[in-house]
Structures are given as structure tokens and as C-alpha cells.
Amino acid sequence: MIALTDWQADYGLPPDLVKGDVPVSGLFDLTPFRYSWLQPKLQLDHDTIFRQSPLFHVPTDTSRFPLVITVGGDEPPDFQRQSTAFADAWRAAGAQVRQLDQHNCNHFTAVAGFEDPESRLVQAVLELMDG
């Protein structure tokens, strides 16, 4: 949700405070949780799902906010589907989006690429920072 925060309105900070984002194995649409075994604990209603799902709040102009969206190749299909849907939504709003599939990674190991300065993930982040 860092990419969706209105930094100026909410905190009095420059609107372009954040220059890009790297969601890793993100959950962009919480709707499936309403029908999962977790629902009795989460008690998600329609309004909460809408409010907390980044997929439903993509700005109309994302042209100056690039993303690197990464997901593990061993993730459940819905994680992969949601990453693609979020990437597609940002592209449709004008963003430069790079999707990075991390083979042999899952929801818990997808961040391991940050440990290796030569990894595809670190290289993608460095390219994002270089603009």
C-alpha cells in the first residue's frame, strides 16, 4: 500500500516522496480470503476487502511510478494471478512495470534474492533506482 499512499494529503510530505515500489509475493485482492478457512478469524466484509485490497485502488495515472513486481514460481496459483492482475492494472494506468518470476521460490523465500547483490531481484531494484 506504500505505492497508494497520498503522502501530501495524509502526512504533508512531497507527493513524489516514494519513487517506485517492489511488491514481493503481494496479496493485491483480499476477496478470496472471504471464502477461505481463515474467514472465521479474519471476519472480512465487503467494505474491508475493498478498502484493504491494493488492486482496487490503482491511481488513474501511474506513469511516474515504476514497479518491479516479483512472485515466487512455487507460489500458489492465486499469488501468481494476483501479481499479474496488479501489474496489468498499473500498466493500464501508464506505469512502467517489470514482472520478475523467481523460480524455486515461495511466499517465504522470495525475499532471499535481496541477500545476493548479483541476483535478478537486486539487479531489477537497482535498475528501478537508476530510473
pLDDT of residue 94: 93
Looking at residue 122, its pLDDT comes to 95
Residuewise pLDDT in 10s, the chain (131 residues): 788 888 889 999 998 888 899 999 999 999 999 999 999 999 999 999 999 999 999 988 888 889 999 999 999 999 999 999 999 999 999 999 999 999 999 989 999 989 999 999 999 999 988 87
How far is residue 72's CA from residue 106's CA, in Å, rounded to a whole number?
A: 5
pLDDT of residue 6: 85
* Domains with residue ranges and CATH for the chain: 17-28+63-130 (3.40.50.1820)
Residue 105: name the closest of 117, 121, 94 by CA. Answer: 121
Task: Return the pLDDT at 72.
Answer: 93
Say what the pLDDT of residue 4 is.
85
Q: How far apart are CA 40 and CA 60, in angstroms?
A: 35
Q: Which amino acid is at 131?
A: G
Opening angle at CA 6, ends 65 and 48, nearest 5: 105
Supply the pLDDT for residue 37: 96
Answer whether 55's CB lies under 8 Å from 69's CB: no
pLDDT at 64: 82
The candidate with the shortest Cα–Cα distance to 110, out of 68, 74, 84, 77, is: 74
What gap in Å lies between CA 113 and CA 109, rounded to an integer?
Answer: 8
